[in-house]
């Protein structure tokens, strides 16, 4: 889904969470 690795998705997700948005990595 646009991420080269699960770690990249996790990092992006953490950034969203820090911004107050909900997110989860499948």
Tokens of 20: 């107050």
Query: In this predicted structure, what is the pLDDT of residue 2?
Result: 76
Query: In this predicted structure, what is the pLDDT of residue 11?
Result: 93
Query: In this predicted structure, what is the pLDDT of residue 1?
Result: 60
Residues of the chain with pLDDT under 50: none
Q: Kindly give, in sequence order, each residue whose CB lies less than 8 Å from that of residue 13, ignoring residues fewer than 6 positions away.
A: 23, 24, 25
> What are the residue ranges spanned by the domains of the chain?
1-26
Query: In this predicted structure, what is the pLDDT of residue 3?
Result: 84
């Amino acid at each position: 889904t646009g991420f080269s690795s699960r770690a990249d998705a996790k990092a992006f997700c953490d950034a969203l969470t820090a911004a107050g948005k909900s997110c989860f990595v499948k």
